[in-house]
Amino acid sequence: MPKVRPAKPQDLPAITHISHQTLLLGREGSQVFPSEALWGELFVAPYLKRGCCNLVAEEGNEVVGYILGACSDWALLGHLLPRLPLLLLWLALGRFGPPLPHLAYLLRLLLFRGPRAPKDRYPAHLHIAVSPKAQGQGVGRALLATFLDCLKEKGVPGVQLSTTRANQAARRLYQSFGFRLYAKRASPFWAPYHGRPVIHEVWVKAL
């Protein structure tokens, strides 16, 4: 069984790789968002710099899963916003490859946001993923249990997460930890990539 430990800044490449490897509804997503480096800058680095209770699961010297948390969205934005103009300039100059697929993905994120639970009751949120080769070994369960204990120790009143109706294994995991479905919405966000709209869900747990 992989061991769970706090995530470190030097875990950025490994976490980014797993996250990018599973971004297309659990499948490899380079055709959706080609640049793994830009993905890491936008969606992983802010958590490692300003998040809370970040964890990785490690087997030998290899990271095989992670959970990234935030106790405040403003903390993440405080890291990302000052860097965003430079990242967009690099994107326009082709440093991350063809700009169009990246810009299309980011624009769709802004246009088709999923449902959210109230931040006063559920201020924390999380992202979790396990490398395909380590799935089915209890890695996600170990990460989530340790993460929730960390939030409780910090006095966080509640946590929310986003998933899709298609991710049945994840939904069963969240239910087993006492999460409940708070809201759902059919979203066209994934339609160009998945072939049809997907039901986005937000799940919550009071701590």
**DSSP conformation letters of 58-100:** EETTEEEEEEEEES-HHHHHHHHHHHHHHHHHHHHTTTTS-HH
Mean pLDDT, rounded, for 105-122: 94
pTM of the entire predicted model: 0.95
Give the number of domains in the chain.
1
Mean pLDDT, rounded, for 19-34: 89
Q: Per residue in 67-94, pLDDT tens? A: 999 999 999 999 999 999 999 999 999 9
Domain extent, residue 194, equals 3-206
| Domain containing residue 88: CATH number | 3.40.630.30
Q: Per residue in 57-69, pLDDT tens? A: 999 889 999 999 9
